[in-house]
Amino acid sequence: MRNPIVRLLVVVPVVGLLLAGCLTAAWFAIGRPAPANAAIWFKVQKVDAAARFADNPTQPFFVLVLGNDGRTDADPGLGDAEHIIGVNPATGDASMIDVPRDTEAPNGGKINSYHPNGGLPANVAQLNKMMGINISYAMTTNFPHFIDMVNAIGGVDIDVTEPMVDSDSGADFQPGHYKMDGDSLLAYTRDRKSYPAAGDRQRTVNQGTAIIAALTTLRAQNPGVAGTIRLTSILAQHVKTDGLSLTEMFDLGRLALSIDPAKVKNVLLPTGAGSGTNLSVAPEAKDLFADFADDAILQRH
C-alpha cells in the first residue's frame, strides 16, 4: 500500500511552507547554512508565477500540501496525500479541503497519478480545474524525509480517538494522547484498515488532522528568537525552493505561525462511486468549492 502523506505527512508540509519562513529568519540572522551534504526533506514551489505575496499581503491565497509515497529521491511517488489550504491574511483564518487519493481528476484518471507524471504543476492544474481556484504554492515530501523531519522537530502531539490497528501501515494505537515520532506519525496517517467502511476517506481526514496537529505542536513550543533560530537553522539545510525568494518564504512562514490551529476548518471532499476504483466528485462539492474559492475560507461548511 503506497500512501504518503503523508509523510508529510502532511505535517511536513505544514512545517514546511509555514515553518520554512521561520527558517529564513535564521538565514538572515546567522547566514544561510551550507546544504552541500544535507538531504532535501521537502520541496516548496511557486506554481503560480504571478503570485507575489509581498505585493498583496491581505489577499487570500491557496497552497497544496502533497505527501508522495516515494521511497527514494529517485522515485517521484504518487500524490497519495493531497490537502489544499486556503489562507485569508486579512482575517487571519484558514480552511483545508482533504482530497482522497483515488478521486477522479477532471482530465481523467486518479488525482494521485499526476504527480509522477508532471510533478507539482500537473497536480495543481487538475485541482485548480476541479475546484475553480488558483493555487499559488505547493510543497511535497516523501516517506523517509518525512520521518527525518518530524524527528528533527521533536515529534508531533496527536490525540487518537479510537483504536487503530493496521499491520500494513504499522499503526497500533489505543485511544489516548501521543507524542508521535516520524515513524509513528507516518503509520497514523497511512492507516486505512482500521476503518472498514470509511477506508481511504478517513485516512485522508486523519492526514489533515496531522497537519493541524503539527502546527499546534510548533506554536505550543513558543520557541522565541533563540528557538526559532535553532529550528530554522535545521530546516533551512533541508528545503529546496523553486521560484520563491527568502523574503517571500519568511513572510509566508510568519503568517502561517500566526494562524490559530483551533480555527482551521478541515473538510473532506464529498465523493461517490466512480468508474472502477475511482471516486467521483459528488454533486454537493460544487457548493463547497464556491464557498472556498471566493475568500479561501469555508463559511457554510
CATH number for the region 11-295 comes to: 3.40.630.190
What is the pTM (predicted TM-score) of this model? 0.84
What is the reported pLDDT for 137?
A: 93
- Exposed e or buried b per residue across 27-61, where buried means at least 16 C-beta atoms within 10 angstroms of its C-beta: beeeeebeeeeeeebbbbbbbbeebebeeeeebbb
User: How many angstroms from the chain centroid is the CA of residue 278?
Assistant: 22
What's the whole-number mean pLDDT along residues 218-242?
69
What grid cell was written down for 268? 473532506
Q: What integer pLDDT is reported at residue 229 of this predicted model? A: 59
Question: Which region among 43-57, 176-190, 197-211 has the lowest average model confidence (pLDDT)?
Answer: 43-57
Ramachandran sector of residue 109 (left: φ over 0; alpha: ψ -120 to 50; beta: rest): left
Provide mean pLDDT across the span 79-96: 92
Spatial CA neighbour of 140 closest among 120, 169, 113: 120
Cβ-contact 27, 246 below 8 angstroms: yes
Q: Is the pLDDT of residue 7 over 60?
A: no
Assign 8 a pLDDT band (cuts: 50, 70, 90). Answer: very low
